[in-house]
Amino acid sequence: MTRMSIDKNVTNLFQVGGPVVKEQFYDRRDVLGELEDLARKRSYPGFALYGSRRTGKTSILKEFIRRTGNKKDIIPIYLDVSGVHPFNAERFYDQVFSLTIDAFREKGKISLKANITEILKGSLSGLVAVMKDTEVSLSVKEYLELKISVKESEADLQKLLEKAFNTIEELSKETGCRGILILDEFPFIENFGLENLSWAIRSITQNWKNTCLIIAGSSVSMMKELTSAKTAPFYMLLQVRRIEAFDEKTSAGMIKERFKRINIVVDDDSLKKIFDLTHGFPFYLQWLGDRIHDNLAGKQIGEELIEKAYTEIMKEGEVIFAADLEKLSSGERDVLVGIAISDSGRASSISRRVGRSAAVTGKMIERLVEKGYLARIEAGLYEFTDPLLKNWLKQRYS
């Protein structure tokens, strides 16, 4: 790497943790262009993004929301389904509804003054005030009225679903806006315990004229089941795009662009080393780049510095990687560790290593595929979707 004068005033070359937006966001021009077309053209019913964890799906969605922020007639409504708390269908519907109200209110499209959160908790006085307000949309009143009287039966929950989702469509129609409902980590809805919830959402959204649906998820197998098969609920309804890690050229472009800000020219050997360690995952490129920058201290960047930075992120990543494991059953953890330390993705050899029957191991592997930890390469052969998680497991358990 060739070193020139360093501008020490530039510190935020990379962003570690959380969605990446604004000047820290890099590339993804094609998919962002398609999303922006979706926002403009009412003939587009919706979009589905899927890909392995840490490939930048949420960053794409957040950057899209940021870019549409100054457009008064576009109303994006974002919800991470995995973050719904308490985790149940009724709370999911409430959040879709309340976020819709917030989004339209923030853009100045509705003048609702009532505290929606308090009404959803059961405030009768708040409900009465809304019901008396002649400027409040009928769709808003209907949801709140139903919410107050709802009984915890599947029939009533179905009505709540319809009212919550149709509030977006009705408000979009009444205000002449383009509503965009964005449901990140969408496959988590399968854990609400309601049968055919995806189909119910399909039946509502397929009739939307003023609103579009964007879903995203890290479970590649489940997203395919939801969108790609002819029997899938969202088959032919949503445009589907798979988000991959950056290729070597794009990874190099990002690293060069960032270090150019402090007058550092990165040589090809260093760029290849960084790509080989991160496999082009944007999350890890940001993280490794940040640690390289922290350790630069006037030195040239070479293999030793890159390795030092990589060692740091693997150590810092213990909390993240351990949290990944905590989401798994003991059997799933055993299988995942077995694959990592054996370097074999063959189901037969994994079964022998973990000391479980082929049938039990096969079930564990399928669950790991569903949860996005493994990907099926061919019959009986699997690989990690996150290569740094694999390396961490090898280091810890070998």
Q: What is the pLDDT of residue 2?
A: 41
Please tell me whether the peptide bond between 86 and the residue prior to it is cis, using omega within 30 degrees of 0.
Answer: yes
CA nearest 73: which of 40, 99, 97, 101?
40
Q: What is the pLDDT of residue 8?
A: 44
Domain map of the chain by residue range?
2-18+246-316, 28-242, 320-397
Question: What is the topology classification, in CATH, of domain 2-18+246-316?
Answer: Helicase, Ruva Protein; domain 3 (1.10.8)
Average pLDDT over residues 192-215: 93
Are β-strands 239-242 and 74-80 bridged in parallel, bridged antiparallel, or unpaired?
unpaired
At the top level of CATH, which class does the domain 320-397 belong to? mainly alpha
CATH code, residues 28-242: 3.40.50.300
Tens digits of residue pLDDT in 244-278: 999 999 999 999 999 999 999 899 999 999 999 99
pLDDT band at 3 (very low <50, low <70, confident <90, very high): very low
Q: What is the pLDDT of residue 43?
A: 66
Tens digits of residue pLDDT in 353-381: 788 888 888 899 999 998 999 998 888 88
**What sign results for the dihedral spanned by CA atoms 262, 266, 271, 273?**
negative
pLDDT above 80 for 24: yes
pLDDT above 70 for 26: yes
CA nearest 256: which of 307, 301, 312?
301
Which range has the worst mean pLDDT, 80-84, 123-127, 275-279? 123-127
DSSP 52: S
Determine the 3-state secondary structure of 291 from DSSP: helix
Contact criterion met (CB below 8 Å) for 59 and 81: no
CA nearest 398: which of 352, 349, 353, 365?
353
pLDDT above 90 for 332: yes
pLDDT above 60 for 9: no
Q: pTM for the full model?
A: 0.91
pLDDT above 70 for 12: yes
pLDDT above 60 for 40: yes
Contact criterion met (CB below 8 Å) for 383 and 374: yes
Count of beta carbons in the 10 Å neighbourhood of residue 123? 18
Mean pLDDT of the chain: 90
CA–CA separation, 374 vs 365, rounded Å? 8
Q: Which residues contact 285 (CB under 8 A, 6 or more apart)?
A: 246, 251, 254, 255, 274, 278
Burial-class residue 362 by CB neighbours within 10 Å (0-12, 13-18, 19+). Answer: middle
| Tokens 């009533």 belong to residue | 156
Q: What is the pLDDT of residue 6?
A: 45
The one-letter amino acid at 174 = E
Cα 9 to the chain's mean position, in Å?
A: 33
